[in-house]
Amino acid sequence: QSVTLWGRLNTTVESQKIGSLDRKMVLQNNNSRLGLKGSEDLGGGLKVSFNLEHGFESDTGAASGGTTFWNRQSNVELSGSFGAVRLGKWFPGSYFAVPDYVSMHNHDTGTSSDALYAYGDFPSSNKVAYFTPTVGGFSSELSVTAGEGTTKRSLDAAVNYDMGPAHAGFGYQKKGDFNQFAVRGLYEFGPLVLGGYIQRAENTFGGVKKNWNVWRASGMYVVGQSEFHLNFGKADNINVNDGAKQLTVGYNYNLSKRTKVYGFWTKVDNQAAGTYFPVSGMKAGQDFSSLAAGIRHNF
Amino acid sequence: QSVTLWGRLNTTVESQKIGSLDRKMVLQNNNSRLGLKGSEDLGGGLKVSFNLEHGFESDTGAASGGTTFWNRQSNVELSGSFGAVRLGKWFPGSYFAVPDYVSMHNHDTGTSSDALYAYGDFPSSNKVAYFTPTVGGFSSELSVTAGEGTTKRSLDAAVNYDMGPAHAGFGYQKKGDFNQFAVRGLYEFGPLVLGGYIQRAENTFGGVKKNWNVWRASGMYVVGQSEFHLNFGKADNINVNDGAKQLTVGYNYNLSKRTKVYGFWTKVDNQAAGTYFPVSGMKAGQDFSSLAAGIRHNF
Amino acid sequence: QSVTLWGRLNTTVESQKIGSLDRKMVLQNNNSRLGLKGSEDLGGGLKVSFNLEHGFESDTGAASGGTTFWNRQSNVELSGSFGAVRLGKWFPGSYFAVPDYVSMHNHDTGTSSDALYAYGDFPSSNKVAYFTPTVGGFSSELSVTAGEGTTKRSLDAAVNYDMGPAHAGFGYQKKGDFNQFAVRGLYEFGPLVLGGYIQRAENTFGGVKKNWNVWRASGMYVVGQSEFHLNFGKADNINVNDGAKQLTVGYNYNLSKRTKVYGFWTKVDNQAAGTYFPVSGMKAGQDFSSLAAGIRHNF
C-alpha cells in the first residue's frame, strides 16, 4: 500500500511557575502529532505525493489550536527534475530553515520552544509553492498565500544549504506591514553541535513602523545515548522595556532511535512590558519557568 | 489486516468572480476525503462490512461542513444473497444514481459541481437501508431516516441499471413537503460518453406548493490520456425569475489511473432572483464563474 | 510497521420511550470507536507503547461528547519489570475494574449501559499513573490527575485479581468532596457466568455530606453461538425518593469472534426525584425503556 501512518507522542510532567503565582503541576503536550503520507511514481521522473498531519494535545486528546483536524499539513505535490509544486496547507519554510533548525533539544515544541522568534501570522493555509531541486547543497522554497479577497496575501521564502558538517539557512516572510528575514548557521564539530540565528523583523505598532532583532544560540554535546543541551535567546526592545531573554538547559537519554526520556529547565524573562508567553493566561512583564521530565516516542 | 485506508486529495487554484466584484485568487478544495473500510467473511455467504469516511478542506485542513469528523460515511452493513442491510450515515442513493453519475469531469465536486439539482435536505445521518442484490443489471437501495422525534422522517430510493455500454438510474426522495424524482441515462459510444438527467421537484414556499424541473446533459471525449468535457444544466423557475443555467468546459490529463492534472471553466448564470450558489457569500441574482487548474490524487 | 489500527462499530435500531411521551424510533450509537496503538521493544525488558482512541457516534459520524477527537485515549507508557508509568488521557481504572467488567451483554455501552454507578467526574485527561506488574493474579493501577491550578486534583485506584474462573476487582476514586469505593466479583461456572458489584459513594449536596450505595448483579448463559443475558442494578436514595432501578434482558448471536447481532430490552425506573438518564432530554422522575436490535463489528 502507498500510505504511511506516522506520528509522535511527546508528553512532559512539568512544575510551571508564572510570575509570582504558585508553582503548579501540569501535564504538558509537546506538539504531538499524527500523519499520513503517500506517493505515486508517475514515470518519467514525475512523482505525486501528499501529506496530512494532525497536531493534538497528548494530555487531553483535543486537536491542537482549535477544531481544525489537519492543523499541521494538508497538501498535494507534483515533483520532478524541475523541482516541485505544492498546493494546500503546511508550515512556512522560513520557520523550518531558521528557529526550528537550531532548537535541537526538543524539536522546538512545548514550553521550551522558541518564544522570541518573530513569527508574523505564521501563514499555513491556502498556499501555493515552488520548491527548487537541490543543487550544490542548496534547496529553496517560495510560497504565496492566496488572499482569497479577505486577508492580505503573504509571501514566504526559505533557502537551506547543507555540505558535510556545515548547515545554513535563510528565511524571509512578508504580510502587510510585517516582514522579517533571518540567517541561521549550524556546524557539527563531532559530538559537539553549535547553531544559532539572527533575525530582523519589522512591523507597525500604533501607526509607527518599528524594527527589532532576535537572536539565538544553541549547543548540543553527545555522549553515547546522552545529549546535553544549552539554548539561549534574546529579543530586543520593540518599543520600551518590552524585550525578553530565554534560557533552556536540557538532557535527553535516547532509549532508541525513536524513543527518548528527557528533562529540561526553561525560563523566559520578560522585561516590564514584555509579552513573550510560552503558555496562555500570562500578563505583560510576567516571567515563566518550568522544570520538566518527559517521554517522546516516534512511530 | 482487514482495514483499508484510502482517500483523495483534490485541490485547484482558481480565479473566481462573483457578480460584479473583483476576481480573486482562491485555493479551492474539491471534496477531498479520507476513508477507512473493512469487511469480514462470516461464512455461508454472509459478510459484514463498514465504512468510515471523512471529508476535509484540502486548502485549510478543516473537516468539511463543520466539526463532524466522519461527515461523509459512518455505517455498518450485513450482506448476503438476500442483498444487504445497512445502518448509520451515508449520502443518499438518489444522489449517486443521478447528478453524481453524469458529472464526469471532476466527480461532482468543488465549484464546478452540480449547483442546480434539487437536493432536498440531503439526509445522510440516522439511516436504515435495504439494498437488493444485482439482478439482470438492476440494483436498488431503499433508505429511511429515523425521525428521532424531532425531525421528520425522510425516504430515499434509488435504482441503477447497467448493461454493457448502457447505464440508467432513477432516484426518488421525500421529506415533509419536499419530494423529487429524477431519471438519468448514460451511454458509452466508444471514446465518446454522453449522459444526462431530468428531475422533477416539489416543495412548499410561503404556504404555496410549487414544482419545477431541472435537467442536465454532459459529454466526455477521450483521446489517450486526455479527456475533453462539456457539461450544461438548467433549473426552471420556481416562482418568478429564479431559475439558473450552468455551463462547464473541462480538460483532464490522466498522469496515471490515480492521478490527474486538470483545468476547467465553469459559470452559473442566476436569473434576477436565482439563488444557486457554488460558493458561500453570494446574493440572489449574482452570477459566478471560475477558471481553475488543479491536481487530483487518489490513494 | 509498528502501528495497529483497530475499532468497533456498534449500532442499534431502537424503539425508545421516555416517561409518558410517545415511543420513537432512534438509530443509536453504542460507543463506537477507532484506535491506534503501537509499541517498541527498547531492550532490557523495557518497552514503550502508545494508545490513541477516538469515540464517535456511528449514527451521525460526530466525535462523541463534543469536539475532542481522541476523547477516549491519548497516552504514552514506559513499561518493564517494575510495572508501567503512563502519561496522558484514558478512562479511570476503577471504572474498568468495576461496572464495565460485569456489564457483559454489550460492553457497558449505549442505552443499556450502567446508568446507576456513581462516576464522580470520570477524570481522564492530564493523568499520571503507575501500574504494578501482575503478581499472584493481582494487578493494580494508581493514577493522579494534575489539577493544573484550576481544577482539583483527583485520585483513582484500581485492583484486579484473576485466578482461573474467579475474577475480582476493587476501585476507589476521590475528587474534592466526592469519593467512592466498590468491590466487584465474577465467576465462570462453565457456560454460566455470574457477576456483580457493590459501591459506596459519598458527596456533598447543598452543603450536606451524604452517602449512598449502588449495587448490580449480572448473568450470562452461553449455548453455542448464543448468549443469554440478565442484568439488574439498584441505586439507593441519596436524599428522598431519588433512587432508581435498572433491568436489562439481552440476547447475542455471535456470527464470529468479531461480529455479533443482538437484541435487548432495557428499563431505568426512576423514583419521583431520580435523575438517572440513559439519554439526554429527560426530566427528574421520568422512566426510560428501549427495545433494541443491532450489530456490533470489531476490526
Residues of A in contact with B256 (CB under 8 A): 40, 42-43
Kindly report the nearest CA distance between residue A149 and chain B, in angstroms.
6
- Number of C-beta neighbours around residue C257 at 10 A: 8
- Work out the pLDDT band at B146, boundaries 50, 70, 90: confident
How high does pLDDT run on average in chain C? Answer: 96
Residues B273, B239: contact at Cβ < 8 Å?
A: yes
Residues of C in contact with B126 (CB under 8 A): 26-27, 59-60
Kindly report the nearest CA distance between residue A62 and chain C, in angstroms.
4
- CB contact under 8 Å between B146 and C67, yes or no, is no
Looking up cell 473583483 gives B22
Residues of B in contact with C26 (CB under 8 A): 126, 146, 148-149
Comparing CB atoms, the residue among A27, A61, A256 nearest residue C40 is A256
Kindly report the nearest CA distance between residue B54 and chain C, in angstroms.
9
Kindly report the nearest CA distance between residue B250 and chain A, in angstroms.
20
Question: Residue B1 above 90 pLDDT?
Answer: no
Comparing CB atoms, the residue among B38, B46, B68 nearest residue C61 is B68
Helix (H, G, I), strand (E, B) or coil at B286: coil
> Strand B166-175 vs strand B154-163: parallel, antiparallel, or unpaired?
antiparallel
Helix (H, G, I), strand (E, B) or coil at A242: coil
Longest dimension (CA), chain C: 63
State the average pLDDT over residues B157-183.
96
Which pLDDT does position B266 carry in this prediction? Answer: 98
Q: Which residues of A165-191 are buried (b: 16+ CB within 10 A; e: fewer)?
A: eebbbbbbbbbeebbbbbbbbbeeeee
- CB contact under 8 Å between A27 and C69, yes or no, is no
- Work out the pLDDT band at A123, boundaries 50, 70, 90: confident
- CB contact under 8 Å between B299 and A38, yes or no, is yes
- CB contact under 8 Å between B36 and C62, yes or no, is no
Question: Residue A1 above 60 pLDDT?
Answer: no
Which pLDDT does position B143 carry in this prediction? Answer: 96
- Work out the pLDDT band at C264, boundaries 50, 70, 90: very high
Question: Residue C121 above 90 pLDDT?
Answer: no
Residues A55-91 have pLDDT tens digits of 999 999 999 988 999 999 999 999 999 999 999 999 9
End-to-end, the C-alpha distance of chain B in Å comes to: 18
- CB contact under 8 Å between B5 and A2, yes or no, is no
Which pLDDT does position B148 carry in this prediction? Answer: 78
- Work out the pLDDT band at A6, boundaries 50, 70, 90: very high
Comparing CB atoms, the residue among C11, C22, C61 nearest residue B87 is C11
Please name which of B158, B92, B87 lies closest in space to residue B124, comparing C-alpha atoms. B92
Residues of C in contact with A256 (CB under 8 A): 40, 42-43
Total count of residues recorded for chain B: 299
- CB contact under 8 Å between C38 and A299, yes or no, is yes
Kindly report the nearest CA distance between residue B283 and chain A, in angstroms.
16
ipTM here: 0.96
Range from B75-79, B143-147, C115-119 carrying the lowest mean pLDDT: B143-147
- Work out the pLDDT band at A164, boundaries 50, 70, 90: very high
Amino acid at C281: G
Residues B56, B64: contact at Cβ < 8 Å?
A: yes
Closest residue of C to A26, CA-based? C148
How high does pLDDT run on average in chain A? Answer: 96
Kindly report the nearest CA distance between residue A64 and chain B, in angstroms.
12
Question: Residue C136 above 70 pLDDT?
Answer: yes
Q: Which of C79, C89, C128, C151 should be substituted to probe chain A, the one whose Cβ sees the most A Cβ atoms within 10 Å?
A: C89
Kindly report the nearest CA distance between residue C188 and chain B, in angstroms.
28
Closest residue of A to B18, CA-based? A149
**In chain B, pLDDT over 90 holds for what percent of residues?**
93
Residues B288, B248: contact at Cβ < 8 Å?
A: no
Comparing CB atoms, the residue among C42, C72, C125 nearest residue A259 is C42
Residues C7-59 have pLDDT tens digits of 999 999 999 999 999 999 999 999 999 999 999 999 999 999 999 999 999 99
- Work out the pLDDT band at C146, boundaries 50, 70, 90: confident
Residues of A in contact with C69 (CB under 8 A): 54, 56, 61-63, 69
Q: What are phi and psi of A85, to 5 degrees?
A: -120, 130
- Work out the pLDDT band at B62, boundaries 50, 70, 90: very high
**Residue that wins the pLDDT comparison between A123 and A218:** A218
Question: Residue B2 above 90 pLDDT?
Answer: no
Q: Which chains would you list as touching B if contact means 3+ CB atom pairs under 8 Å?
A: A, C
Residues of C in contact with A27 (CB under 8 A): 87-88, 125-128, 146, 148
Question: Residue C1 above 60 pLDDT?
Answer: no
Q: Which chains would you list as touching A if contact means 3+ CB atom pairs under 8 Å?
A: B, C
**Residue that wins the pLDDT comparison between A122 and C163:** C163
For CA atoms A116, A117, A118, A120, give the dihedral sign: negative
Which pLDDT does position B214 carry in this prediction? Answer: 98
Question: Residue A122 above 80 pLDDT?
Answer: no
- CB contact under 8 Å between C11 and B125, yes or no, is no
Question: Residue C149 above 90 pLDDT?
Answer: no
Question: Residue A150 above 90 pLDDT?
Answer: no
Please name which of A153, A127, A123, A140 lies closest in space to residue A84, comparing C-alpha atoms. A140
Residues B228, B72: contact at Cβ < 8 Å?
A: no
Residues B48, B42: contact at Cβ < 8 Å?
A: yes
- CB contact under 8 Å between A2 and B299, yes or no, is yes
- CB contact under 8 Å between A48 and B255, yes or no, is yes
State the average pLDDT over residues A142-146.
92
- Work out the pLDDT band at B122, boundaries 50, 70, 90: confident
State the average pLDDT over residues C200-218.
96
Residues in A whose CB is inside 8 Å of some CB of B read: 1-3, 5, 36, 38, 40, 42-43, 46, 48, 50, 52, 67-76, 78, 87-89, 125-128, 146-149
Residues in C whose CB is inside 8 Å of some CB of A read: 1-3, 5, 36, 38, 40, 42-43, 46, 48, 50, 52, 67-76, 78, 87-89, 125-128, 146-149
Residues C126, C89: contact at Cβ < 8 Å?
A: yes
- Number of C-beta neighbours around residue A297 at 10 A: 27
Comparing CB atoms, the residue among C1, C40, C128 nearest residue A258 is C40
Residues of B in contact with C61 (CB under 8 A): 52, 68-74, 88-89, 125
Which pLDDT does position A121 carry in this prediction? Answer: 77
> Strand B24-29 vs strand B32-43: parallel, antiparallel, or unpaired?
unpaired
Q: Which of B148, B151, B155 should be substituted to probe chain C, the one whose Cβ sees the most C Cβ atoms within 10 Å?
A: B148
Please identify, in words, the CATH class of the domain defined by C3-298: mainly beta
Instruction: Kindly give, in sequence order, each residue whose CB lies less than 8 Å from that of residue B241, ignoring residues fewer than 6 positions away.
Output: B271, B272, B273, B274
Q: What are residue A131's DSSP bridge partners? A: A84, A141
Residues B196-225 have pLDDT tens digits of 999 999 999 989 999 999 999 999 999 999
Integer Cα distance of C233 and C114 in angstroms: 8
CATH ID of A11-298, from 3.30.420.40, 2.40.160.10, 3.90.79.10, 1.10.375.10: 2.40.160.10
Residues of A in contact with C72 (CB under 8 A): 61
Q: Which of A73, A76, A79 should be substituted to probe chain B, the one whose Cβ sees the most B Cβ atoms within 10 Å?
A: A76
Question: Residue C122 above 80 pLDDT?
Answer: no
Comparing CB atoms, the residue among B69, B73, B76 nearest residue C295 is B76
State the average pLDDT over residues A178-197.
98
Instruction: Kindly give, in sequence order, each residue whose CB lies less than 8 Å from that of residue B61, ignoring residues fewer than 6 positions away.
Output: A52, A68, A69, A70, A71, A72, A73, A74, A88, A89, A125
- Work out the pLDDT band at C147, boundaries 50, 70, 90: confident
Residues of B in contact with A2 (CB under 8 A): 299
Residues A269-296 have pLDDT tens digits of 999 999 999 999 999 999 999 999 999 9
- Number of C-beta neighbours around residue C209 at 10 A: 9
Which pLDDT does position A2 carry in this prediction? Answer: 76
Structural domain spans, chain C: 3-298
